[in-house]
Amino acid sequence: MRPTEVKINNAPEDWISCVRFGPKTNQYLIASSWDGTVRFYDVVNNTMRHKFMQDDPVLDVTFMDVVHVVSGSLDKNLRLYDVNTHTENVVGDHDAPIRCVEYAESVNGILTGSWDKTVKLWDMREKHCVGTYEQCNGKVYSMSVNEEKIVVATSDRTVLIWDLRKMEEYMMKRESSLKYQTRCIRLFPNKEGYVMSSIEGRVAVEYLDPDPEVQKLKFAFKCHRNKQGTTEHIYPVNAISFHNVYSTFATGGSDGYVNIWDGFNKKRLCQFHEYDTSISSLNFNYDGSTLAIACSYMDELEVPPANVPSPAIYVRYVTDQETKQK
């Protein structure tokens, strides 16, 4: 019988910025890190198949298909990697670091979000930029794509909703319902709304339809907090990932916990054991059977702990008991 959770060998050596499963698989996983690496893992055999290296921190990474991977970096460059031939190419750049990269399947392109306050769309066959979209003067902090819909969360607590079929201008612009800086935003699997988290231990569930009856469904809740005596410790909620089958979602915080939530019934389904440092990234695979959990200290404390735990990636084989609405 396989264990519930496996620690992956050859984890990055610094803050893990992203972990993602390949399309239609729970075998292949990629990770990007502040150590300048993009690592490609075979989870089933617990081996690192390849490691691409650069001088600057890699801030995000995603699959285009099972052998092609793209990354965005602090050096402002968008890179394309071929896992089979172990080659890499710089496709293009932004005027500031690239914080987010997403594969837009509906147009077979890559979207990049940058601290230069723009999102760019790239044609990866021709390897050039086919569109640059201003994000209302906010640095891109988080971005999510589902078919034709894009949501972008920016540094000024704005959320912009775009439609890939008509990118002349955004569909909607909203102010975040969370008072503090946004950490992560993810579209619902059904594209009808999004979940976003902040540095102040809160998560908001929002709906796109402006109908007042639909808007009544939106709510926000506190999480990733703990009380010690009379003091409440409040932690950033760094990561969100949706279960594509059940539409439940996982959150990961700097408290070292992963929670699974049923956003429609407003309740927590479960909490995993405590990990030894912050949860920096989460990703369910396509069918929700497997959750990748990246743990790494994210420089949250003014005085770093005496012993900073080593970064680690865990793969957890989740059950319906943990992820399905009750």
| pLDDT value for 62 | 98
| pLDDT value for 305 | 82
| pLDDT value for 301 | 81
What tokens does 169 get? 């201008």
Instruction: Name the average pLDDT for the chain.
Output: 96
| pLDDT value for 212 | 96
Which amino acid makes up residue 309? P
| pLDDT value for 158 | 96
The burial of 265, by beta-carbon neighbours within 10 Å (0-12 exposed, 13-18 middle, 19 or more buried), is given as: exposed
| pLDDT value for 215 | 95
SS3 106: helix
| pLDDT value for 304 | 81
CA distances, 107 to each of 99, 123, 125 (Å):
21, 9, 12
Residues of the chain with pLDDT under 50: none
| pLDDT value for 52 | 98
Write the secondary structure of 43-70 as one string of H (helix), E (strand) and C (coil). CCCCEEEEEEECCCCEEEEEEEECCEEE
